[in-house]
């Protein structure tokens, strides 16, 4: 069997053109009107393909291919997400969902005899930029977060808006309870969102694990004072303390043999004036490592350093945990199948770690799970410049098809 490459690429382009702002920026943020436009298009394709469409209370969308003979068996699920960040590229998440649809279309057109149902899924709010936490739809699906708690999440841009009312407004508060079926296995195909495959000129990544993620918000309380008249030794400078923390995090990552990554992604100073020593700094820290013990050690090292700075600089430092996900080890059997399929097709392949979070890390809690990566040009993602060559996209979907049939 062969996938219809032109059809796959066409669906990617059409979905990529859907949910854009007047400026042309792609912004299908969860449970917005633009998200609804993308959902409506995806559901129309599911129905055109003769699939049974189910939507759960979290707005997770599932297209189901089953027969009378296999409908009581646990399904193979292929999934990802179609919500986006603001001013996004067209591949993140969408490639995995539409490749799943293309695999199902190919199986149907070849009258392939399915031993069990095949489902393609699109999970709600994977990005987590409007409602938190991220990967919310899949987290609720595996019962890692109570559905009512998730549905009461407040929109970041307007706390009066909650996820449930927004899903109802766009018509995607479904009837099914999250977790209404248990998968036999879960597969997620994704552009790498990192530079390794592109840099090494390798076609397929067999993803064997996924980094643990630790997000914190840090607030440094110093003392505002005149920038020209206050000697350095008498300052309680929240900006200087923040700069030292950022430098510490870079050193922490550099000394980890590339296993730890650390990022300060949001930062705000008060009073934010050119001639006033900052009295307050609020910023976020994103720490990641594929080893749980090492991630804990990194967190402890940061905690000790903050205490050291508090004493040395005479400031107060508060921390708030935002997100904490354990590292994930994917199913060895499926990872080996991915490697075997790539080898059979003469595609170069390597095992790798996912540095980004994905719905697969949630689904791995309830069923055997693995991911397939294809190269991402220069590792650029969450950016309109996100790009993967058509040839690589088709190779990834071809591997996905054969992995599904082997399962």
Give the model confidence (pLDDT) of 318-349 as tens digits.
999 998 889 999 999 999 999 999 999 999 99
| The predicted structure's pLDDT at residue 22 | 95
Q: Following DSSP, what letter does each residue of 123-142 receive, concatenated?
A: -TTSS-SSSSSSSHHHHHHT
Higher pLDDT, 356 or 198: 198
Residue 19 DSSP class: S
What residues pair up with 122 in beta bridges, in sequence order?
Answer: 61, 80
Return d(Cα 120, Cα 78) in angstroms, integer: 5
Residue 238 main-chain phi, psi, to 5 deg: -65, -30
Per-residue pLDDT, 271: 98
182-212 pLDDT, tens digit per residue, is: 999 999 999 999 999 999 999 999 999 999 9
Q: How many C-beta atoms lie closer than 10 Å to residue 191's C-beta?
A: 30
Pull the structure tokens for residue 287.
């720490």
pLDDT at 258: 73
Q: How far, in Å, are 76, 88, 189, 341, 374 from residue 207 at the CA level?
A: 18, 24, 10, 14, 10
CATH code for position 274: 3.30.70.360
Find all residues with CB under 8 Å of 18, minimum gap 6, and list them: 28, 34, 37, 38, 41
Structural domain of residue 285, as residue ranges? 212-325
> Looking at 281, 303, 325, which one is the last position of a domain?
325
Other Cβ atoms less than 10 A from the Cβ of 296: the count is: 13
d(CA 16, CA 84): 10
Q: Which of 208, 150, 216, 209 is nearest to 179 (CA)?
A: 150
- Asked if residue 89 and residue 12 are part of one domain, the reply reads yes
Cα distance between residue 376 and residue 388, in whole Å = 5
CATH number at residue 204: 3.40.630.10
Which of 286, 301, 325 is a domain's end point?
325
Same domain (yes/no): 190, 76? yes
Tell me the C-alpha distance between 326 and 332, whole Å.
18
- Co-location of 12 and 140 in the same domain: yes
Question: Cα separation of 288 and 298, whole Å?
Answer: 9
pLDDT tens per residue, range 114-162: 999 999 999 999 999 999 999 999 999 999 999 999 999 999 999 999 9
* Radius of gyration of the chain, Cα coordinates, nearest whole angstrom: 23
Domain shared by 62 and 142, yes or no = yes
User: Domain tally for the chain?
Assistant: 2
Query: Same domain, yes or no, for 316 and 353?
Result: no
pLDDT at 21: 96
One domain for residues 12 and 146: yes
CA distance 184 to 369: 9
Of 331, 333, 357, nearest in space to 215 by CA: 357
157/288 same-domain check: no
Q: Is 300 exposed, middle or buried (0-12, 13-18, 19+ CB in 10 A)?
A: exposed
Residue-level pLDDT at 363: 98
Looking at the fold, whether 48 and 175 belong to one and the same domain comes out as yes
Same domain, 116 and 26: yes
Report the DSSP beta bridge partners of residue 221: 280, 316
Tell me the C-alpha distance between 69 and 117, whole Å: 10
Question: In the predicted model, what is the mean pLDDT of the chain?
Answer: 97
Q: How many CA atoms lie within 13 A of 259 on its CB side?
A: 15
313, 281 contact by CB (below 8 A): no
C-alpha span between 135 and 227 (Å, rounded) = 44
Collapsing DSSP states into helix, strand and coil, what is residue 339? helix
Long-range contacts at 44-49 (CB < 8 A, ≥ 24 apart): 45/11, 45/101, 46/101, 46/120, 49/101, 49/104, 49/105, 49/108
Given this model, what pLDDT does residue 257 score? 80
Overall average pLDDT of the 167-181 stretch: 98
Q: Provide the whole-model pTM.
A: 0.87
Is the bond leading into 43 cis (omega within 30 degrees of zero)? no
Final residue belonging to a domain, choices 325, 346, 367: 325
Residue 357: pLDDT band by 50, 70, 90 thresholds?
confident
- Whether residues 62 and 201 share a domain: the answer is yes
Neighbours of 331 (CB within 10 A): 17
Mean pLDDT within 159-169: 98
pLDDT at 285 over 90: yes
Per-residue confidence band for 16, with pLDDT thresholds at 50, 70 and 90: very high
Q: Are 195 and 228 in a shared domain?
A: no
The secondary element (H helix, E strand) that includes residue 103 is helix 94-109
Report pLDDT for 145.
97
How far apart CA 45 and CA 49 sit, in angstroms, is: 6
Shared domain check, 165 and 72: yes
Is 397's pLDDT higher than 90?
yes
Please say if the pLDDT value at position 260 is more than 80: yes
Angle at the Cα of 132 from the Cα atoms of 141 and 250, rounded to 5 degrees = 115
For the chain, count helices (H), then strands (E): 12, 16
């Amino acid at each position: 069997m062969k996938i219809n490459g032109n059809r796959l690429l066409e669906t990617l382009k059409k979905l990529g053109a859907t949910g854009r702002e007047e400026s042309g920026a792609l912004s299908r943020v969860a449970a917005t009107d633009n998200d609804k436009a993308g959902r409506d298009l995806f559901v129309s394709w599911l129905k055109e393909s003769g699939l049974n469409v189910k939507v759960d209370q979290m707005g997770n969308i599932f297209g189901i291919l089953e027969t009378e003979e296999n409908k009581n068996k646990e399904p193979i699920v292929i999934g990802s997400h179609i919500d986006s960040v603001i001013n996004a590229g067209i591949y993140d998440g969408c490639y995995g969902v539409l490749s799943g649809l293309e695999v199902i279309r190919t199986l149907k057109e070849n009258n392939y005899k399915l031993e069990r149902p095949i489902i393609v899924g699109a999970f709600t709010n994977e990005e987590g930029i409007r409602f938190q936490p991220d990967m919310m739809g899949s987290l609720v699906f595996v019962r890692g977060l109570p559905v009512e708690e998730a549905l009461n999440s407040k929109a970041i841009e307007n706390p009066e808006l909650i996820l449930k009312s927004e899903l109802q407004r766009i018509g995607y508060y479904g009837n099914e309870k999250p977790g209404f079926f248990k998968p036999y296995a879960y597969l997620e195909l994704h552009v790498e969102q990192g530079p390794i495959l592109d840099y090494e000129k390798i076609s397929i990544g067999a993803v064997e694990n996924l980094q643990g993620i630790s997000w914190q918000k840090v607030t440094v309380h110093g003392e505002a004072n005149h920038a020209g008249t206050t000697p350095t030794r008498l300052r309680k400078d929240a900006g200087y303390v923040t700069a030292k923390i950022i430098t510490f995090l870079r050193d922490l990552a550099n000394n980890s043999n590339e296993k730890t990554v650390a990022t300060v992604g949001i930062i705000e100073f008060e009073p934010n004036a050119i001639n006033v020593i900052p009295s307050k700094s609020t910023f976020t820290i994103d720490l990641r490592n594929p080893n749980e013990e090492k991630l804990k050690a990194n967190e402890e090292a940061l905690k000790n350093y903050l205490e050291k700075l508090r004493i040395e600089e005479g400031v107060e430092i508060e921390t708030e945990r935002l997100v904490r996900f354990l590292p994930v080890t994917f199913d060895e059997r499926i990872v080996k199948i991915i490697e075997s399929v790539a080898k059979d097709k003469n595609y170069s392949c390597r095992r790798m770690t996912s540095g980004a979070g994905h719905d697969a890390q949630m689904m791995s809690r309830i069923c055997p799970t693995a991911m397939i990566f294809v190269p991402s040009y220069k590792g650029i993602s969450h950016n309109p410049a996100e790009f993967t060559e058509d040839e690589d996209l088709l190779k990834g979907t071809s591997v996905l098809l054969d992995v599904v049939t082997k399962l």
